[in-house]
Amino acid sequence: MTVPSAPLTSRQRLLLALLTFDAFLLGLLELFFLPLRLDGIVLPKLGDAPMPVTVVLAVITTPLLVRATAKVVRPSFSVIPLLVWVLVVLGVGATGPGGDLVLIQDWRALLLIGGGALPGALALGGGLGRAAKGASSG
């Protein structure tokens, strides 16, 4: 039997909205800067090799958003930033502005999706597991 949880306070709603907006912005940023290359335009010139620096950003920030949501709102709501990030990357990537395909069709796209979704999902599962263990023992 589950105990109904208290409704979110206005502070928790505001923080959830802020973290969700952060996930939205990070998804867009990581998606649009994924095609960066070492070609001397934005990054230094080192042989014109692809340099998916936004994958590193996704690996770090997606689990941070999930953990922050679990900590400041509640663990059951920590899935929201992860879902928003995945929907932005896949949705905007496939149907970008003007119907253009923004998500590039090579290994960098898979690396971005895996690098953002997998650590976020691991953080989500860990947080929900700790919350369930704490609720059953206390």
Cα–Cα distance, 67 to 73 (Å, whole number): 10
Residue 2: predicted pLDDT: 54
Q: How would you label 60-81 residue by residue, b for 16+ Cβ within 10 Å and e otherwise?
A: ebbbbbbbbbbeebbbebbbbb
pLDDT at 1 over 70: no
54 CB-near residues (< 8 Å, 6+ apart): 29, 30, 31, 33, 34, 36, 112
- Mean pLDDT of the 12-27 span: 96
**Mean pLDDT, the chain, as a whole number?**
88
pLDDT class of 138 with cuts at 50, 70, 90: low
Tokens of 40: 């001397």
Cα–Cα distance, 69 to 53 (Å, whole number): 25
CA distances from 105 to 35, 39, 94, 110, 121 (A): 10, 19, 10, 9, 24
pLDDT digits (tens, 9 = 90+) for 96-105: 777 778 888 8
- Domain spans of the chain? 10-85+95-124
pLDDT at 86 over 60: yes
Residue 3: predicted pLDDT: 53
